[in-house]
Amino acid sequence: MEQNNSLPPFQGLASPQGAMTPGTPIFSPMMPYGSGLTPQPVTNTNSLSLLEEQHRQQQASAQQGGVSGGSGQTPQLYHSQTVTTTTLPGNTPLYTTTPLTPMTPITPATPASESSGIVPQLQNIVSTVNLGCKLDLKTIALRARNAEYNPKRFAAVIMRIREPRTTALIFSSGKMVCTGAKSEEQSRLAARKYARVVQKLGFPAKFLDFKIQNMVGSCDVKFPIRLEGLVLTHQQFSSYEPELFPGLIYRMIKPRIVLLIFVSGKVVLTGAKVRGEIYEAFENIYPILKGFRKTT
Amino acid sequence: MLVEDYRAGDMICPECGLVVGDRVIDVGSEWRTFTNEKATKDPSRVGDAQNPLLNGGDLTTMISKGTGAASFDEFGNSKYQNRRTMSSSDRAMLNAFKEITTMADRINLPRNIIDRTNNLFKQVYEQKSLKGRANDAIASACLYIACRQEGVPRTFKEICAVSRISKKEIGRCFKLILKALETSVDLITTGDFMSRFCSNLGLPKQVQMAATYIARKAVELDLVPGRSPISVAAAAIYMASQASAEKKTQKEIGDIAGVADVTIRQSYRLIYPRAADLFPPDFKFDTPVDKLPQL
């Protein structure tokens, strides 16, 4: 069967943070994976290691690089399919066959007003995943590297890895929160790495219900903004209290996004579940901000 | 079109003279009222002047503590003890009104602000959308909103000073209340605080007017983008007082305004370069502009 990549079996590479034992071929089940944007044949390979997944992501991101936001695509495109049940360990190749519908990047007809030409950069992705088994936090904290556990302060193990620089909160119920990644792929990869760490410590960890809960993006419109004017005209959406916070808090309804708008022209967008919402929200706010540009 | 005839207690039709009611009980005040020294106690009123708008029409009466000797039993305890639970449903609201009055009294707020605060609290309380929050926090936030709505805003720190609630919690409740009542408030300006800060510092009217002018000019010329109006006001007061005979230190001004003295320093550094343009044209300088302190 056709494989997207033809990597030699994983061996002899520097192990990612505290995870892999070199030499043993690792079979992880795969989800038919891809960015959803670029046309990809349905991949039914079932023997993917984390490294191959990384490679696949790099390919996907290289192909995806040209497509910027604001193309009006449906949000699902940016997020891989969520598969409900998959298991990590074992040599038995397991694969689920949710076929990917090949999507071609759709550029809509140029709208009446030109787009801003500015693309918000993602700064943080928060995601959750269920490892599917109860965990003993004390053994994890003692045996894993870069793990801290202070049960009196917080009831979870805080683990950090360096490769996608992320932090994970691992709870005893088996649920995990992964924060700090800069893209959806990196968040998923990091979550898998954490799951691998836990698996290596002897727990039957799975990778269930990976879901991105929040995405934060930021950008700069490159001109100063009159926040007083903005709060006057959009007062049902805005809240500007200089005593409480120096930025204007704009709660957009259509994609439900909260934007923090500052006098300097910097904008922070948060509350998105998919990348498209951030882009859409920025495209919505940009003409409004242009109207409140400071003239001096 | 019936007309009441008080003298006979009748309801009479003025057109045909038909007497409809007969011996209608007069609900006006007691006829025989003697003027005595205690003119404040109006004998025609039989109940306390409750505020029916806020209480939901509580018509219950209570038995007060007795005054004579007969009201005490053998051990000295008062015989009639039940003074509780007359309006349990709105007990929390009455408590909050008392708290609001106490808080407002500490900063000498006039009656109209207190009434507005009470009204706001009643609306929020009846809506129940903020039911989980501490009543004191809601009361403090209502007080803040009332001051804003009346055009005499108080800073959050000033409200904090008379309330046990933290500024963070008051700020949170403030935003929640605005959303719940679907109102909004005007943005604060530097001029709103000038008269209060300057009189607390004992600065003469000339200096106050100069500081107001400086702050307004600074905002118009956009010398202080993104700075809180309180900080700009404090810096303007500093500049005006340093140019006059009544010089105040940054620490004193920071104390009154609730602003850190480094913050005043930062804002002052921003307005200092254009100091000559910021002063009102008719200002009498005790210290000329070039001798103003430069920090």
What's the token pair of residue A286?
Answer: 């940009």
pLDDT in tens, A49-81: 566 556 666 666 555 544 444 344 444 444 444
Which pLDDT does position B2 carry in this prediction?
82
Average pLDDT, chain A: 77
Q: How far is B156 from chain A (nearest CA, A)?
A: 7
Asked if A294 lies within 8 A of B175 by C-beta distance, the reply is no
pLDDT in tens, B72-96: 777 777 677 666 666 677 788 889 9
Say whether pLDDT at A289 is over 90. yes
Residues of A in contact with B187 (CB under 8 A): 228, 231-232, 240
Q: Give the number of C-alpha atoms closer than 13 A to the C-alpha of residue B37, restricted to the C-beta side.
A: 0
Say whether pLDDT at B21 is over 50. yes
Which pLDDT does position B75 carry in this prediction?
76
B65 conformational bin, left if phi > 0, alpha if psi -120 to 50, beta if neither: beta
Amino acid residing at B66: G
Mean pLDDT of B184-198: 94
pLDDT in tens, A140-153: 999 998 999 999 99
Which pLDDT does position B210 carry in this prediction?
94
| φ, ψ of residue A168 in degrees (nearest 5) | -125, 140
For residue B222, the chain A residue with the least C-alpha distance is: A296
Say whether pLDDT at B156 is over 60. yes
- B19 Cβ contact partners less than 8 Å away, ≥ 6 residues apart: B10, B11, B12
The percent of residues in chain A predicted with pLDDT above 70, rounded, is 62
What's the token pair of residue A112?
Answer: 């009446």
Amino acid residing at A295: T
pTM of the predicted protein model: 0.73
| φ, ψ of residue B185 in degrees (nearest 5) | -125, 160
Q: How many other C-beta atoms can be found within 10 angstroms of the C-beta atom of residue A95?
A: 17
* Rg of chain A (C-alpha set): 22
| φ, ψ of residue A212 in degrees (nearest 5) | -85, 125
**pLDDT confidence of A293, banded at 50, 70, 90?**
very high
Smallest Cα–Cα separation from A217: which of A168, A189, A181, A172? A181
Mean pLDDT of B157-182: 96
Which pLDDT does position B295 carry in this prediction?
83
Extended strands (E) in A153-276: 156-161, 166-171, 175-181, 208-220, 238-239, 248-252, 257-261, 266-272
Which pLDDT does position B85 carry in this prediction?
61
For residue A248, the chain B residue with the least C-alpha distance is: B226
Asked if B187 lies within 8 A of A235 by C-beta distance, the reply is no
pLDDT in tens, A203-229: 999 999 999 999 999 999 999 999 999
Which pLDDT does position B139 carry in this prediction?
97
Asked if A243 lies within 8 A of B156 by C-beta distance, the reply is yes
For residue A124, what is the enclosing H or E element? strand A121-130
Amino acid residing at B178: L
* Interface predicted TM-score (ipTM) over 0.90: no
Say whether pLDDT at A97 is over 60. no
Cα separation of the two ends of chain B: 80
Asked if A246 lies within 8 A of B225 by C-beta distance, the reply is no
pLDDT in tens, A10-33: 444 444 444 444 444 444 444 444
Query: Interface of chain A against chain B, CB under 8 Å?
Result: 224, 228, 231-232, 235-236, 239-244, 246, 262-264, 294, 296
Q: How many other C-beta atoms can be found within 10 angstroms of the C-beta atom of residue B170?
A: 23
Asked if B171 lies within 8 A of A224 by C-beta distance, the reply is no
For residue B259, the chain A residue with the least C-alpha distance is: A243
CA B235 to chain centroid? 27
pLDDT in tens, B262-294: 999 999 999 999 999 999 999 999 999 999 998
CA A70 to chain centroid? 18
DSSP-derived secondary structure letter, B76: S
Which pLDDT does position B58 carry in this prediction?
64
Mean pLDDT of A191-207: 95
Query: Interface of chain B against chain A, CB under 8 Å?
Result: 155-156, 171, 174-175, 178, 184, 187-188, 221-222, 225-230
Residues of B in contact with A226 (CB under 8 A): none
Residues of A in contact with B175 (CB under 8 A): 239, 241
**pLDDT confidence of B40, banded at 50, 70, 90?**
low
Which pLDDT does position A196 carry in this prediction?
95
> Tokens 């410590």 label which residue?
A201
